[in-house]
């Protein structure tokens, strides 16, 4: 061991840096989507990969994309840093630690649930998980309702609740939601178009 010698580190390839950075987030971002988005924002600003405006722009776009929006955003960030390699490295970095921990915990949960003495504690944990689901539904309700005229949005929301309870098929309810929006777009036009509009609205 050389005492006092200066350590020389070869600079990491950009995609390796993307992988390492997202792997750290994948390992430590407990608390669901908001915790992960917050960690990604700090990362992008600290490393100067994106400006705040670019980050928000990507956030909005990823929210419009089907599936887990964080994965869409990781792809966009990785690609902005170093193209396709960055995109793959970002996804792999975020998902590998999270998935490993998730599958390991699922394995452990399954084993523990076989013990009779674990039934009451796991029943309590299931109750807590149901409470978290209720809480996330309330948070989503607040987020969607905040920027829109409340009464009209609430009436439409109530209509979909009734349809959901009556029909019992989520896919059918969502199909009706899409059809209603296509036939009566004005009924769902509660927000103004984005300010940087260049293209006219369709007639």
Rounded-to-integer distance, Cα 79 and Cα 54, Å: 13
Q: Is 78 in the site for another protein (CB under 8 A)?
A: no
Residues 116 to 135: which contact another protein by CB under 8 A? 117, 119-135
Min CB(12)–another protein separation in Å? 23
Among 38, 113, 115, 150, binds another protein (CB under 8 A): 113
- Angle at CA 175, nearest 5°, toward 171 and 181? 145
Q: Which residue has the tokens 């608390």?
A: 31
Q: Is 88 in the site for another protein (CB under 8 A)?
A: no
Residues 147 to 176: which contact another protein by CB under 8 A? 148, 153, 156-158, 160-161, 163-165, 168-171, 173-174, 176
Min CB(30)–another protein separation in Å? 5
- Angle at CA 150, nearest 5°, toward 147 and 153? 95
Among 29, 44, 49, 50, binds another protein (CB under 8 A): 29
Joined tokens for residue 88 = 């793959």
Q: Is 180 in the site for another protein (CB under 8 A)?
A: yes
φ, ψ of residue 62 to 5 degrees: the values are: -70, -30
Of 5-13, 45-53, 182-190, the segment contacting another protein by CB under 8 A is 182-190
Report how far apart, in Å, the C-alpha atoms of 180 and of each of 81, 160, 163, 171, 188 are: 40, 11, 13, 14, 9
Joined tokens for residue 36 = 């992960």
Q: Is 75 in the site for another protein (CB under 8 A)?
A: yes
Classified as helix, coil or strand, 153 is helix
Of 2-10, 11-19, 27-35, 45-53, the segment contacting another protein by CB under 8 A is 27-35
């Amino acid at each position: 061991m050389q005492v006092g010698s200066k350590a020389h580190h070869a600079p990491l390839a950009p995609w390796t840096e993307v992988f390492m950075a997202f792997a750290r987030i994948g390992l430590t971002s407990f608390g669901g989507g908001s915790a992960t988005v917050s960690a990604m924002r700090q990362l992008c600003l600290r490393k100067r990969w994106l400006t705040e405006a670019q980050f928000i722009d990507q956030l909005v776009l990823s929210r419009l994309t089907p599936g887990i929006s964080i994965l869409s955003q990781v792809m966009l960030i990785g690609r902005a840093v170093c193209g396709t390699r960055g995109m793959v490295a970002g996804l792999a970095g975020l998902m590998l630690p999270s998935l490993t921990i998730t599958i390991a915990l699922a394995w452990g949960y399954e084993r523990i649930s076989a013990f009779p003495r674990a039934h009451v504690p796991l029943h309590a944990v299931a109750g807590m998980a149901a409470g978290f689901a209720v809480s996330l539904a309330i948070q989503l309700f607040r987020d969607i309702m905040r920027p829109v005229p409340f009464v009209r949005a609430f009436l439409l929301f109530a209509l979909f609740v009734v349809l959901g309870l009556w029909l019992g098929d989520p896919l059918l309810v969502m199909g009706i939601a899409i059809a209603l929006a296509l036939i009566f777009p004005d009924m769902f036009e509660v927000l103004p178009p984005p300010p940087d509009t260049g293209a006219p609205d369709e007639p």
